[in-house]
Structure 1
């Protein structure tokens, strides 16, 4: 009698396990084919002859310039996005104003729009030949398109949402009770932010900064359009990968791509460590 009663539940449990394992295998297989396998092959081809391909790439002054240009643009873009990201996050969470939903929608636009379209839009606005502001800026001696400022602007655009979308949920969860208490005790806006708000969102800010840095280092589409890819001048690491691959310089392409992937993995490891530290503090 007892065995008859429990038979259906065992069958359901067995089916649940089978479905669960099937989904797990499907997800792991998908990630393996899409991410792990190509990455492993990149590592394999990069080190097919030891470290020689990386050494040769780093011995090329144009490659070194492209790497440093990517790092400089990424760091400046992250700094700009950090300041404006925190400002916009506080504005969205702490204040109500007309057009708030529109602003929130615009913040997500870089995630939806193609980076190539972003680069083309920047060209239409800042091109020194046919752009809205380009000729005027050029007359003032300011070059945007096919110059470093254009690379920074394109990088800022594609990485903008990452800081905001990490900080906004934490700000909402934090609330403003402590900030109001600080103001009632005579603290000004800066003191309230520095001593109360920022400590409460520091881990979210750290996540956003690291993810924004990883995204900025790997940007290709928008940067390619606005930079013009002038070797030794406006060529970045990502555009150098394409150039080396098209010129059949595969060892150099693999070496630069490996360095970019290594930087991205390092950023992800930092995020994982920060999240673990955050979770440990919350306990």
Structure 2
């Protein structure tokens, strides 16, 4: 074995261990600490913390918001991806840039912008108050905040896939007499299905873990507008540290489940 080969292999091992060590310090270590602190006094206290009516309602509200936001962003992502890749129109570059805005904008700023729109002194606040429509400190505002922060993921998975597959099959389908809806249903959607699913998984993960924007617009009313992430902060501020760790552990397990789902989807996509 040559000296060059040995040196190259040593560098690869060094980089590999460096990456694993970084992940252990940044990711695995904190998760292990959360797990240990959750069960350091046994299963009973953690179970009691997770089964309180307020905590159950917080998880139910989190799942409800996710169930609303994910389909909305899935439809938007597919439509927006088709517009960006398959059509030419004025403002296309601007639309493409705006899709990435939630990735660059602080979630707290998103929440404050919703106040400027739907607050009492906002653009639509007066009309909403006259018609007794509640957006802020209610479910609609929390859904809007979550939809905004999780908006780009499906679109950003669909766009490169559409560019990669091209439009030859779609043109052939139209040549054979298929209308736009038939082409979308039989040609386009099957071709991008894994990109859509992958984007949906990422969107769901972002919705489950959202804190900043929702914290601004929710009002944090226990049993009404408190999500799981807000419940963690409330328990910690109330000196119920183990309860906060127990809820955090459930959220971490949901994140791990999402990662496993992404890995399985990637394998199926490669095998397809």
TM-score range, shorter chain: over 0.9
TM-score (norm 2): 0.96
Residue 209 of structure 1, CA deviation: 0.6
Distance change >3 Å, CA 189–CA 54, structure 1 → 2: farther
Task: Say yes or no: does 1:176 pair with 2:158.
Answer: no
The whole-number CA distance in structure 1 between the counterparts of 2:114 and 2:64 is: 20
Residue 55 of structure 1, CA deviation: 2.0
- Determine which of 10, 25, 33 is the counterpart of 1:18: 10
Which residue in the other structure is 2:189 paired with?
Answer: 198
Task: Say yes or no: does 1:246 pair with 2:234.
Answer: no
The whole-number CA distance in structure 2 between the counterparts of 1:51 and 1:279 is: 41
Secondary structure at 1:101 match in 2: helix
Secondary structure at 2:226 match in 1: coil
Asked if structure 2 preserves the Cα contact closer than 8 Å seen for 1:134 and 1:144, the reply is no
The whole-number CA distance in structure 1 between the counterparts of 2:207 and 2:38 is: 23
Which residue in the other structure is 2:23 paired with?
Answer: 31
1:1-283 superposed matches below 5 A: 10-127=2-119, 129-281=120-272
1:125-181, Cα deviation, whole Å (9 max, x unpaired): 111x22111221121221111110010011111111110111111111111111111
* Unaligned ranges ≥5, structure 1: 1-5
The whole-number CA distance in structure 2 between the counterparts of 1:95 and 1:148 is: 35
Asked if structure 2 preserves the Cα contact closer than 8 Å seen for 1:76 and 1:152, the reply is yes
Asked if structure 1 preserves the Cα contact closer than 8 Å seen for 2:50 and 2:243, the reply is no
Count of aligned residue pairs for this structure pair? 272
Secondary structure at 2:41 match in 1: coil
Secondary structure at 1:142 match in 2: coil
Residue 21 of structure 1, CA deviation: 2.4
Asked if structure 2 preserves the Cα contact closer than 8 Å seen for 1:211 and 1:268, the reply is no
The whole-number CA distance in structure 2 between the counterparts of 1:141 and 1:188 is: 44
Secondary structure at 1:211 match in 2: helix
Asked if structure 2 preserves the Cα contact closer than 8 Å seen for 1:220 and 1:238, the reply is yes
The whole-number CA distance in structure 2 between the counterparts of 1:59 and 1:275 is: 35
Residue 109 of structure 1, CA deviation: 0.9
- The CA RMSD over aligned residues, in Å, is 1.4
TM-score (norm 1): 0.92
Q: Which has the larger radius of gyration?
A: 1
Highest RCO, 1 vs 2 (Cα 8 Å, sep ≥ 6): 2
Which residue in the other structure is 1:3 paired with?
Answer: none
The whole-number CA distance in structure 2 between the counterparts of 1:99 and 1:238 is: 37
* Unaligned ranges ≥5, structure 2: none
More off after superposition, 176-185 vs 29-38? 176-185
Asked if structure 2 preserves the Cα contact closer than 8 Å seen for 1:77 and 1:216, the reply is yes
1:80-112, Cα deviation, whole Å (9 max, x unpaired): 101111110100010111111111111111111
